[in-house]
Each structure stands twice: as C-alpha cells, then as structure tokens.
Amino acid sequence: MSCDHPTGHSALLREVGSSQSVLVVDDEEGIRQAVSLVLESAGYAVVCAVDGQEAFSILERRRFDLVITDMLMPGRDGLELLSVVKKIGQRTKVLVMSGGGIIGVGAYLNVAKKLGAHAVLGKPFTSEVLLETAAGLLKKEA
C-alpha cells in the first residue's frame, strides 16, 4: 500500500521540511492508492484516510499543505471536511474530487467551489492533471 500512516515516514519528511505534505481522503481504496502513488512519485509526502471521520482524526494531530478529498463518502463527507480544513488551516489548500452521484458531478463540484475549495476535479482524471493541479495550488502557497 502506498499511503503512509500519520506517524510514519511522511511525518518525518514533513518535520525536516524536505517535502510538501498531502492528505488524501477517499473511501475507495483503489483511488486512494492511485492518487497516493502519483503524488509520492512526484516527491510529495502522502498520508491517507479512508473517510472523512478518519481525516478529522488525523487533522487534529497535524496540518497539511494540501488536502485532496472525495466529495461523497459514508459518514462525514467531503463538504464537512472542506469546512473543517477552512477553519483550522488558513494555509492548507483543498482539492475536492468527485465522480458524481444523484445530481451529477458538475453540481457537486460547483457546490464545493462555492464553499471554498481551491480546486475541483471530476473523476476520472489523469495523473498529469492531478499533478498539475496539486503543483499549481502548492505553488500559490509559496
């Protein structure tokens, strides 16, 4: 599995400042692993959460440069996570991704943008688009 745990190697990288940190939140294991692998191969320190609830728990202990979250998840969803990140991490960027649902992907992503997401991606997306979007968001932080 590609995702580190919050106390693992990526936490060490973050402490020494050698890599920007990303929290990836998605209830679909395949998507979490794919996104994590792409980001790690580009040099990002990645931590994963299986849902919004686990993400909240992780965010109580540490901050990230970027949070990438799915919109629709059981329990606490991406909109709740977006709201919390906006409150606790003024510098943390948020990228919301969605494959749609009852009302369609565009509607969900529009809501996320209106609620403060820095960027949105409709699933499926390419590795290149993911990396370009992440790099663009993190470059704005510098």
Looking at domain 9-141, what is its CATH homologous superfamily? Response regulator (3.40.50.2300)
The CB-side HSE value for 138 (13 A sphere, CA atoms) comes to 20
**Residue-wise pLDDT tens digits, 27-38:** 999 999 999 999
pLDDT band (50, 70, 90) for residue 100: confident
Give which of 42, 39, 27 is closest to 3, Cα–Cα: 39
pLDDT score at 8: 39
Burial class (CB in 10 A: 0-12, 13-18, 19+), 37: middle
In the predicted model, what is the mean pLDDT of residues 105-126? 91
**Residue-wise pLDDT tens digits, 59-90:** 999 999 999 999 999 888 999 999 999 888 67
In this prediction the pTM is: 0.85
